[in-house]
Structure 1
Amino acid sequence: MGAEHDLHNDRLGPQELEIGVTDALQRHITRHVVPAPPVSQRKLDFEHARPRFLRECIAEATGVFLYVLPGIAAVAQFTVNGTNEHIPMSFFSNLLQVGFAFAFGISFAIITCASTSGGHFNPAMTISLAVWQGFPWKKVPYYILSQVFGAFMAALVLMGCYWPQISALRDANLAAHGTAVFNGGAASILVSYPNVTQTNQGFLFFQEFMVDAFLGFIIWSCLDPANPFVSPVSVPFTIGFAYAAMVWGFAGNTISTNMARDLGPRMVAAIFFGKEAFTYMDYSWISILISIPATLFATSFYELVIRDSLKVISSGHARHEEGEEGLSRHLTKTGGYQGPHGSDETVHGKMGA
């Protein structure tokens, strides 16, 4: 087939090659593409027999795994190799790589798994979706358990991949400090710990609350069907880089951002480094729990202050609870819908109905 491609290349003029090899060769190679095999009834029966609920839980666990693993792997590079005299310090001496790792990890998680489970990947988002968007409450505990399990498995895999380096760092920490559980220690690869000077829990609470509220607000705005500035293609990267921005801005001051991302790896940290993983400076309750009220605060602010449900209806993504009659009654009472150019127009007129 390589010889055939060479012959086809010889037949192409220079102007055709300038538009791109893929575009220029497409008409020559498509006839060599083997068509996909037909879908068998056996495969359809197998897929139909899979419990939908189980697929959703597995997708949540897989998505969190894909999000957490590259992030904590970047932290491992930052922590383990940052003090390695054989590696240039400048390569590992900043949080840029960590922010990008979490950003792309979250983006890949959404791209690969959100179509199956909805892509919550965060207990705080699952609870917020149950409060505001009608997500079934009976599914909430199962989603949260799946998310924590995915993060737990990511931490276990990371420990398996980096165990020689982490164990050596742990031994050095024990020799120098008597513990490996502190910010910059071996345990901090898996979860965050405050700096030794951060003894004010009110400060740590406020910082975590604001970071998590910021992320919740960005995510909720991306989920708004009336938001014209995001598309399904851009949402994964918008959310991913919102996380990266918080890592770049606040990770040096200790943040968690996600109950599942923290609780799962913290259990692994307790396995390898002892119960101090949960008790160090009495910080773990902040890193595990604060994301939930912070995200509820952010989503409540968006729903009560920012949300424009009439725009959602006009874009065809929702309907009035009383149907057309209820919508007409609302428009009559309010004097119609104020269009983007300042003119009054009904929702039906805006939609071209």
Structure 2
Amino acid sequence: MASKIPFSSSNAKRVVYVSDVVPRPRYLVGWERLKNKKIHWLAECAAEAMGVFMYCYPGIGPTASFVIGSLTQEEGLSSVLQIGLGYAGGIMLAITICTGTSGGHFNPCITIVEMLFKGFPPLKGARFIVSQILGAYIACLLVYAQWSTLIKAVETALPPPTLAAIQYSPQGPAGIFAFYVSPTASLGLAFLNEFVSDFFIATVIFGCLDPSNALVPPSMAPVLIAMAYAAVIWGFTPNGLAANSARDLGGRFAAMTIWGRDAAGRSGYAAIAALTNIPATILAYLFYEFMFYDSDRVVPQDRREFYDILALHRRNGPAASAAVVVDTSSNSSVVHGKEYIGTTERV
């Protein structure tokens, strides 16, 4: 059942907006007004693209160092530990920098779950997914540009038969950007590896987003989600692991842009890397909702403050309409078409 709950005047008096303490030039104020009222979708898509870029860029760099170091037999350039830390750091940056604008999906599978179960608009979801893939694609192309001299030198130095045998594999130059498995690898085990890893990550994500989880304040969620990604990279990436459909598709499209259609790799594994994340994330969401989520728990103060900050946006939130719709059956707030998990604080 949904009901309107107005914010009280006392609550409104406590709000301090950024413009109250940091005045901005008139042209920027005009741009903000246009952006927030007319083309906020553009800012949201930019945030999703930048979030995935921030996630991928610090992880692909150490991967390039690791692969090039292995091919040139230069020890100590990188390691799986550094790759995991690179991706984990990128995820923390993505969540902390970009979430305030778009809500912080950064993964097509999270967007699909939002559309299937939380009423997220399909058109907006499609924009998000395209933006996420674009962010990974740009990250891969930029890393290639930065490493292109060394990559081309390695390709030139390797005997053609050797290069042809490893080019589209985890050990080859294309493997820096796209995900591959060896020709003899079991696709069934690759699917199992991807599914379990993705289920694990998604369960951590939904646990961190649970409004009643008192052990995970909003400021700690980026760290824990990042550590979940790092853990599966450290433990299971040698068996073939994408962990994010945008990272896989963006990287595969980038590899195909650089090396041609052959860079698509084995069609069976390409489908596993790109699509397994979807059912694994959906199953993790249903598992958490049915087994762990409890609407009768108390929402901690730091969570209520976090949702108030989102909901009280001057032009997009209840500050403009003096009301917020709260769905008491799912413990979620719907503000101007946007959903915020939890309830807003009333004074």
Place the TM-score, normalised by the shorter chain, in its bin: 0.7 to 0.9
Structure 2 unaligned segments of length 5 or more: list them. 1-20, 308-325, 332-344
What is the correspondence of 1:129-278 to structure 2 with a 5 Å cutoff? 129-171=114-156, 172=158, 174-179=160-165, 180-198=167-185, 200-278=186-264
Aligned to 2:281: 295
CA distance in 1, matches of 2:49, 2:99: 11
Q: Specify the SS of the correspondent of 1:184.
A: coil
CA distance in 2, matches of 1:222, 1:178: 44
Deviation at 1:178, TM superposition (A): 2.1
1:68–1:151 Cα contact (<8 Å) kept = yes
Deviation at 1:42, TM superposition (A): 3.1
- Larger Rg computed on CA atoms: 1
Q: Specify the SS of the correspondent of 1:309.
A: coil
Gap change, CA 1:239 and 1:247, over 3 Å in 2: same
2:56–2:136 Cα contact (<8 Å) kept = yes
Percentage of identical aligned residues: 36
Aligned to 1:70: 58
Structure 1 unaligned segments of length 5 or more: list them. 1-35, 324-350
Deviation at 1:177, TM superposition (A): 4.2
Deviation at 1:168, TM superposition (A): 2.3
User: Which structure has more RCO (C-alpha within 8 Å, separation ≥ 6)?
Assistant: 2
1:74–1:97 Cα contact (<8 Å) kept = yes
Please identify which structure carries the higher helix content: 1
1:181–1:277 Cα contact (<8 Å) kept = yes
- Normalised TM-score (structure 2): 0.77
1:173–1:186 Cα contact (<8 Å) kept = no
Deviation at 1:264, TM superposition (A): 0.8
Q: Which amino acid aligns with 1:320?
A: T
Q: Which amino acid aligns with 1:250?
A: F
Q: Specify the SS of the correspondent of 1:178.
A: helix
Gap change, CA 1:40 and 1:178, over 3 Å in 2: closer
Gap change, CA 1:60 and 1:133, over 3 Å in 2: same
Q: Which amino acid aligns with 1:186?
A: P
Gap change, CA 1:304 and 1:152, over 3 Å in 2: same
Aligned to 1:115: 100
- Point out 4+ residue stretches in structure 1 off by more than 4 angstroms: 312-319
Aligned to 2:328: 320
Deviation at 1:135, TM superposition (A): 2.2
Deviation at 1:257, TM superposition (A): 0.5
Deviation at 1:136, TM superposition (A): 2.1
Question: Does residue 44 of the first structure (1) align with residue 29 of the second (2)?
Answer: yes
Deviation track 1:162-219 (CA, whole Å, cap 9, x = no partner) reads 0011122333263414251112011100022113441x21111111111111111000
Gap change, CA 1:161 and 1:231, over 3 Å in 2: same
Alpha-carbon RMSD across the aligned residues, in angstroms, is 2.5
Deviation track 1:247-290 (CA, whole Å, cap 9, x = no partner) reads 00001111000110010110111122222222336310000111
Of 305, 327, 330 in structure 1, the residue corresponding to residue 291 of structure 2 is 305
Gap change, CA 1:104 and 1:173, over 3 Å in 2: farther
